[in-house]
Each structure stands twice: as C-alpha cells, then as structure tokens.
Structure 1
Amino acid sequence: MQQDYPLMPGRLPAQDRQVRLLLDSGRFEAAGAAFDELTAVRPNLVADQWDRATVLVHRASLAWRLDRIPLALELAAEGWTELDVDRPSGIAAAHTISMLGHLLETIGHRAPALELMALAVQVARAAGDDDTLAQCLCREANALVFRAVSRRSESREEQFRLARALFEESRALTGPGQVYRSALAGGARAHAGVGEHETAERLAAEALRLSTPAEDLFSASVANWVLAVVRREQHELPEARTYASRALDRAETIRDTQLMMQFSLDLAAICDELSDPVGESAALRRTVSASRLAVETLQEGLGQALEQRRVAVQAQRMAMAAQEAALRDPLTGLTNRLGLERRAPALLEQTAAQGRIPWLMLVDVDWFKDVNDGAGHAAGDAALQEVAHLLRRECRADDLICRWAGDEFVVLLVDSADESGPVVAERIRAAVDAHDWRLVLGRTKQPPTVSIGVAAGPAELDHLFSAADIALYRAKRAGRNRVEIDQDSGDLPSISRTDSR
C-alpha cells in the first residue's frame, strides 16, 4: 500500500514533511511541485547513516507516490545500500528498515519485503520505543493481510491470525492517531479473514468513526472495505456494494494502487452476484484482471531493476573502497608510494596556480636498523607507526603525507607559505627527537630520530624528490637528526640541528 504512517517529524527536513502532508490530503499537483523544488538540489542529507537512510527511503516513497519511478528506484537503492551494516539499532534504524520493506512490498518486490519489516519489528523492540514499535507492527501486519487476501493458499488463515495479533499489539502501544486508526481498520480485516465477523464489523465501524473527522482517507477506505466484506458474507449484497463503492472512491482519491486493485475486484464480484443489468461488474472484472496482470508484470520488472541498481551501487562502493585501499600503506595508514604518484601532480599544480612555492620533505628514520636488531621487527613496526602519528600531528590535514618505502616518508605541503617547508621540517624533527619512545621500544641505547631533506622549486615531483634526496644525504653525512635544505631552493637560511646525545 502506498499510504504510510507518520515518521519521526524531528528526523525529516521540513520540506519532506510538507510534501508528505500534501500527498496525504490528495493535493498531488502541489505535492509534485514541492517535491521538484525539494530535489532540485541534492543536499548533503544527514551525517548519521541511519538518519540519512531514513530520508533517502522516505523520499523514495514520495517519488513512488508521485509516479517518479526511476527516481524512486534510485533513492530506494541508495537508502538500501546505507542499511548494509551488521547490527542495526535504534529508532531511526527501525523506521528506515520498516519503511523500505513497505516500499518494496508496494512495488511488488516481495522476496525481501516481509523479511525487512520483521527485522524492523525486532529492532524497534530492542529500541524500547512504543510508538516506533507500533508503526513497524502495523506495516508488517498490513503486508500480511494483503498477501492473505491476494493469495488463496493454505497459509491464508495463518497469515490473517498473525496479522490480527500484530494489529492488536500495535493498538495497545499507541494512542489515538493515524497508526491507531490504521491498526483498527487493518485488524478488522484480519478478524474478517478468520470468520470473526461481529468483531470485524465493530472495529471497522470504530475506525470509520475516527477517520472521518481526521480526514484519514486510507483508514476510511479500508474500514469501508471490511464492512463490504462482512455484508457480502452476510448476503446483504446491496449494502455490500455501497460500502465497496465508498472504499474504492477513497482509494482513488489518495491514488493507492494496491487498494484500488483489490477493491475494484471485490466490487466487481459483488455486482456480478447482484446480476447488475448494465453488465458493469463483468466488464470491471475483465478490465481489472487485465490491468492487474499488466501491473504485476511491471512491478516484477521494477523489483528486478531495483535489486540490480542496489547491487550496482554496492559494487561501485566496494570498488571505490578497494581503490582507496590500494593507495594506502597498511602499516601506518598513510598514503603509499602509488598514492603519492597519483595525487602529487594535481596538488603541485594547484599550489603553483595559487602563486605559492611547493615544498617537499623527504624524512628518513635514523638508527632504524638498530631498532629492528635490538627490539625486534614488531617494535620496529610500532616505531614507524609512531613516526606516522607525529607527522600527522605536525602537518595540516590538507598536506599529503606518504610512507615512501621502509623507514622513509615524504611530506608534500599544500598551499604553503614561501618559508613554511623548513619551518615544518624542523618542527617534525624536534617532535621526533623529544618523543618518549620508552612505551614503544623500552630503554634503547639509541632512540630513533629523523633526518630531513627539504626542497622547493618547479611543480614537478621528480625534480623535487631528487633535490630533497640530495639534501637528505647531506643531513645524514653531517651527523643525522638534522634538517637540510636543497641549495637551489632559494636564499632561505639553512636550518640544522646536531644530535645532542
């Protein structure tokens, strides 16, 4: 069913809520215009993944009701992909999973729909929020009712009984409102499905009484349908036809395709039993049957398209993650050599375009062989991770930090000032020199330090790297724990520090 229930107003943007209200009141032209404005610019929805998924799936539901099928599929697939986590929890998660299952049920992709709605009930129970649980129970129960009605299977009565229990629990958890009215009307149909006609009529009458002043056309439509079913079972066919006509009128007003299909078939059957002289019932039955077959074929195709789209989105994300992992050093988490070679040209070009001098630092860990020999390779790995941490701390987030090979690192300063390279290099050297290595290496005779070669000049990575390498060689020959600047990098003063130990 296209009709849905109120969804956490505080967790949806105001414009989304406005489109929903317009649709529920039958103002589809105004709703379409508001939705176009809403989706004209794709916003950065919400940071939290469950809230983001909630908005995406809700907008997919809006798009479907507005007959924007391709957009509905795209939004639903993206929202579904957001749900690919191991342990969903919380109110937002429960609502999102339930609403996604409801949407899949509506478009005919039924295989995962009921499973998602049942999962949403579990998540809602764990979250401990009665209103959320009531809504999730009602969605699952409605799906069971319409499956039982549309399929004359052996499990039909069992589905009605399960739906009846879910509706009863939903009503007990929530106060007067749309969820309560929907649970009344749906519960009435479940009671009628197991032959409890007196209870079904009482609940349907109550749902109709509450729905009329609230202008709740969905619940009123279902309630009229239930009364039509009961009157037909009681062989009061003229009254059954009246109720069925009212149900169909209201379903058409809110453009709920699933309700329209079922109510049309029931009305046609009642008219046929009445031997309508105009022959309207027979024509309606044939028309609706043909339309139903066409719609079911379309729905199946849309369901397959949705699944394919979801798989494609997930595969794209996995491919992007794999590409990102290929550019990262697994030990330190820094960009690796391949990542530097791919990203550096654009960064150098950007720096040059801003009229700034590109600086490159080549950082080599001193005494690293002694660390490996004295403390072991595990300690050596830990030392490299500490150096990586210090580099991140002393550099800006936009600077490109790379583990080049072994105990060598490269730092490329982005949007840097004319003299920033030597200053940052000295800051890094001092941080490593002053670092307390005892937690990582214990009491070593020679804690690691770093020697740094610094170069600036044309925006070419090979040129900068060669110049920085020459400067690093001078720092090593001069005693290590030093910063040396390439002699061709300008008239900036050289900065060097001798090992104080």
Structure 2
Amino acid sequence: MDHNEQDEAGEILREDREIYVLLGTDQLAEAATRFDKSLEAMPAEADTWSRAAILTGRAVIAWRLGRIPLALELAAEGWADIDSEPPSGARAANAMGQLGYLLNSIGHLRAAEPMLRAALSTARTSDNVVELGVALQRLGGGLTLWAMNLPPAQAMPMFTEGRALLAEGLALDRISPQTSRSLLGAYSSALVGCGEFAAGEKAAFETVEVGRAAGDRWCIAVGNWVLSIVRRLQGDLVEARTYASNALRQIEMINDVPLVQRFSADLADICAQLNDFAGEATALRRNVRARTTAMSIMQEGLGLALEQRRFAIQSQRLATVAQEAAVRDPLTGLTNRLGLERKAPEVLANAAAAGATPWLIVIDVDWFKEINDDAGHAVGDSALREIAELLRGECRTGDLVARWAGDEFIILLVGEGQLGLAVAERIRAAVDSHDWRSRLGAARRPTVSIGVASGRGSLEHLFAAADTALYLAKRNGRNRVEWPDLDQAMSPPR
C-alpha cells in the first residue's frame, strides 16, 4: 500500500474511532448518523490488515447500535481477512482485538480469549504504544470480567493476570485518554478481585471522576459497580445499592447489554438482602429486558448463521454441479475428454497396484458424415445419443465410458483374460444389429470400427496403440475390431 492509501485507511479508522467514542457518551443518534455515512468509505486498494481493522471496527459499532445482521456480516468478512495471512503490525493487532471484543460481547468466550491474546502478542511486536495499551485493556478487562463468574480457586489466577496486564497498560506513555480511562476502570475491578479492596476503591473513585469529566458513561458505570462490590463486601448494603443503581442507570444509557445483565443481577441481589422487594423486582425486570434483548440478538444471529450456512451449502452444491458439468459431455451424458484424462491415471494406478490388466477401447462411428449429410445434424446427434446408450448397456458400472470427440468414443476398463476384446465385439455387434429405422429412416445406418489395446502404460501409450488398431479396422473394411501386437505397439521409444 502506498503512502496515500495508508493515509486514507488511517483517516477512516480515526473517523470510526470517533463514532465509537460517541457510543460511550450517550450520543447514539449522532453515532448512528455518522456510522451510516462512514459505511460508504473503504480504500479501493487497502491492504489486508487495514481492511480487516476497518471491517471489525465497524462490526463493533454496528453491534453497539443493535444492528445485529450487519455486525455479524462485517465481522465474518473481517474474520476471513484475519485468517488469510500471518498477523503483523498495529493494524493486525487492532483488527484481532476488535474481533475478540465482539466475540466476548456475543458470549463466544472460547474464541474471544485466544483472539485477544493473539492481538496482544501482535501489538507487543508492532512498536505501537497506542495499540499496545488498547490490547492490554481488552485482554486484562476480559480476564477480570470472566473471573467474576468463576469459583475463587479458578478466578484468582485470572484476576492476577488481568491486574498485571492492566497495570502494564496504565504505565504506558502516549496512550489515548479513553484507553487510559478504560484501563483504570478495569484495573479497579481487578484489584478488588485480588482482594486489594482499599486500592480498588481508590481506583474506582478515580474512574468515576475522570469518567464524569469526559462524559464517559462506561467509566462512570464501571466505577460505580466496583464501589458497589466493595461496599457489599464491607457490609454496607444501603450504599452498595446506591452505587449499583447508579452503575445500572449509566450502562443502560449506552446500551451495553452484557453489562446491563451483570449490573442488574447484582442490584437485584443487594435489594433482596435488604428485603427491598420493590427494588429487587425492578432490578429483575431490567435484567429480564436485557436478557430478552440478548436472546433476541442470539436468535437473530443464529438465524443469520443458518442463512449463511444455507448459502454455503448451496454454493457447495453449485460448485459440485459445475465440476461435474465440466467433465460431462452435454450431448450424450457420458464423461468427456477432460473427465477421462482426469480419471484415467487413478484407474491405471489401481490396476497396476492390483496386478490387473487395463484395456482401452477406441470406437469410431462409420459413415457418420453421410448420416449428417443425408438426414441432418439433429438426426446425427440422435444417433450419437443412441450409440452412447448402447455402450453403457455393454459395459459395467465401474467402467469409464467417454465421448472423446465428435463421433469417437473411448472405454477404459480393467479385467483379466480377453475382457477388452469381448466387450469391443459386443459393442460392435450391438450397433450393427440395432434397429435404426425409427431414428434414421432411409438414411444409411451406422456401424462402428474399434481398436483395442491392453497392458501396462500411460493413457497416452494405450491410446496410441488402440488408435493404430482403429486405423487397421477402418482400412480393413470397417465394422470390425482390431487388436495389434501389443508388445510391439506398447514398447516405449528408445
């Protein structure tokens, strides 16, 4: 990508980041308007990782705006780009981090964690401090949130790792104010998870303060939530309820459904402990609404996934049909020359491995030009179809019967004794004795001349020998089968 294209991709990414910031400051209408305009922009020659970063970033925005089908479509396209080449650079870290964040939001934790770890690993080698800070926040915050749902013995290693990653991020220079606030909020919850309540409380108060100054409702919500956990652990349930209520109100304003579920469930538990049944019922209703939204999202996503699977199956079937059509003669339905050339090596190799004898039969229709001249090409085509049916009737299911070109057919089969000669003679007799009157009327009826070859060798060697035999059949009067001296015919040139 040249310098101008890099600038164009960078400008698009900056615009999309500004839209994402609007989502966290309760400016959903403006974010939606700007997002609709941004969808039209994509550098024509964007490199893989710039394109992936733009697609996954927009998938996250679409998800937060509740546009689920669009979010999944953009994410799938971005994921395909991510899978296409080894990750390298800040744009790669950005793309993988955003996809990991979205997978986490959807609840697909099994895929989210390795994606976020890969994003952090790539960011560490990118020499980009800004992207490193974002990657540390995403993985550290994710580990901390996941640990909240685990038994203490399993949770503590995740809290500890999350705290270390978030502390590393906070120590970085030149990270964005938004990333710094997000790191601080996640760090406060990691500290509490590690049992450092005083330090966690201090960090939570600071998170609320910087969040208010920036109008960042996510930070205000997370800070209040952490304070509610601390007060609850200290036994001050009344103040815990106040903080939890504040956290839920703030997070509902920015439509962060997973956190709405978490915060409303915590508020309901606190209200139940206080025998505040009205408050508990209200919190539970809000939790049910969030779960209903999440279920709707899941159902819509599953429906879209089903549609995508249907399209994939249809595409696979169409591809199979196209592949079959490519090796099928449309006039007779037999294998065509391409199909024969593709399948013959396997047939010959299997015969050699089994110690069996391959036979190649080359068939040419006698007097076919006269049939076309006397009765017309449509009648000639009908005669070829009839001959194809006669060939099928004299061959076994596993024999390879093909239309080679024009009025020439080839059969490749494997068998012992004089099998090839016997099949060739049956075919000659079947064509010769066939009642052609209904198809040809008074036109000259066709016969066939046949050359046969057998023995070890490639398709080309067998064909050369059988074609020589066919020439003899034509020269010796047509409507006959010829089989040359194969040892001589099949001897490779010196």
- In the superposition, the TM-score normalised over structure 1's length comes to 0.57
Matches for 1:35-184 after TM superposition, within 5 Å: 35-39=35-39, 41=40, 43-44=42-43, 46-152=45-151, 154-175=153-174, 177-184=177-184
Q: Which amino acid aligns with 1:195?
A: G
Match of 1:223 in 2: 223
Deviation (angstroms), 1:110:
2.0
The C-alpha deviation readout for 1:73-112, integer Å capped at 9, x for no partner, is: 1011001101113421101100110111001111122221
- On the 8 A contact 1:269/1:281 being kept in 2, the answer is no
- Look at both structures and tell me which one has the larger radius of gyration over its CA atoms: 2
The alignment covers a number of residue pairs equal to 318
Deviation (angstroms), 1:216:
1.8
Change (3 A) 1:78 1:264: same
- On the 8 A contact 1:261/1:292 being kept in 2, the answer is yes
Deviation (angstroms), 1:48:
0.9
Match of 1:197 in 2: 197
- On the 8 A contact 1:144/1:160 being kept in 2, the answer is yes
Change (3 A) 1:17 1:141: closer
Change (3 A) 1:103 1:319: farther
Match of 2:278 in 1: 280
Change (3 A) 1:89 1:310: farther
Distance in 2, Cα, partners of 1:154 & 1:304 = 34
Q: Which amino acid aligns with 1:287?
A: R
Deviation (angstroms), 1:19:
2.9
Match of 2:261 in 1: 261
Q: SS in structure 2 opposite 1:89?
A: coil
**Structure 2: runs of 5 or more not aligned:** 1-7, 327-337, 339-494
User: Does 2:232 correspond to 1:232?
Assistant: yes
Q: Which amino acid aligns with 2:31?
A: A
Deviation (angstroms), 1:159:
1.4
Deviation (angstroms), 1:321:
12
Q: SS in structure 2 opposite 1:85?
A: coil
Q: Which amino acid aligns with 1:281?
A: G
Distance in 2, Cα, partners of 1:159 & 1:63 = 30
Change (3 A) 1:135 1:314: farther
Q: Which has the higher helix share?
A: 2
- On the 8 A contact 2:63/2:71 being kept in 1, the answer is yes
Deviation (angstroms), 1:210:
2.0
The percentage of counterpart residues that share the same residue type is 36
Distance in 2, Cα, partners of 1:246 & 1:19 = 25
Change (3 A) 1:163 1:316: farther
Deviation (angstroms), 1:320:
12
- On the 8 A contact 1:134/1:174 being kept in 2, the answer is no
Q: Which amino acid aligns with 1:244?
A: A
Distance in 2, Cα, partners of 1:49 & 1:310 = 23
Deviation (angstroms), 1:38:
3.0
- On the 8 A contact 2:133/2:179 being kept in 1, the answer is yes
The C-alpha deviation readout for 1:184-227, integer Å capped at 9, x for no partner, is: 11111111112211111111122222222121221121111111
- On the 8 A contact 1:109/1:304 being kept in 2, the answer is no
The C-alpha deviation readout for 1:254-303, integer Å capped at 9, x for no partner, is: 11112211111111111111122xx2233245435645654555555566
The C-alpha deviation readout for 1:165-185, integer Å capped at 9, x for no partner, is: 111111112457121221111
250-259 vs 284-293, which moves further: 284-293
Distance in 1, Cα, partners of 2:293 & 2:77 = 24
The C-alpha deviation readout for 1:26-85, integer Å capped at 9, x for no partner, is: 12122222222333x474555211001111111111111111111111011001101113
- On the 8 A contact 1:271/1:281 being kept in 2, the answer is yes
- On the 8 A contact 1:211/1:217 being kept in 2, the answer is yes
- On the 8 A contact 2:265/2:284 being kept in 1, the answer is no
Match of 1:466 in 2: none
Distance in 2, Cα, partners of 1:91 & 1:316 = 37
- On the 8 A contact 2:140/2:166 being kept in 1, the answer is yes
Change (3 A) 1:18 1:318: farther
Distance in 2, Cα, partners of 1:78 & 1:312 = 17
Distance in 2, Cα, partners of 1:45 & 1:53 = 13
Match of 1:362 in 2: none
The C-alpha deviation readout for 1:440-492, integer Å capped at 9, x for no partner, is: xxxxxxxxxxxxxxxxxxxxxxxxxxxxxxxxxxxxxxxxxxxxxxxxxxxxx
Matches for 1:323-342 after TM superposition, within 5 Å: none
Distance in 1, Cα, partners of 2:43 & 2:311 = 18
94-103 vs 8-17, which moves further: 8-17
- On the 8 A contact 1:138/1:179 being kept in 2, the answer is yes
Change (3 A) 1:132 1:203: same
- On the 8 A contact 2:144/2:186 being kept in 1, the answer is yes
- On the 8 A contact 2:257/2:293 being kept in 1, the answer is no
Distance in 1, Cα, partners of 2:36 & 2:258 = 25
Distance in 2, Cα, partners of 1:293 & 1:252 = 13
Change (3 A) 1:131 1:306: farther
Change (3 A) 1:13 1:319: farther
Distance in 1, Cα, partners of 2:12 & 2:314 = 27
Change (3 A) 1:233 1:37: same
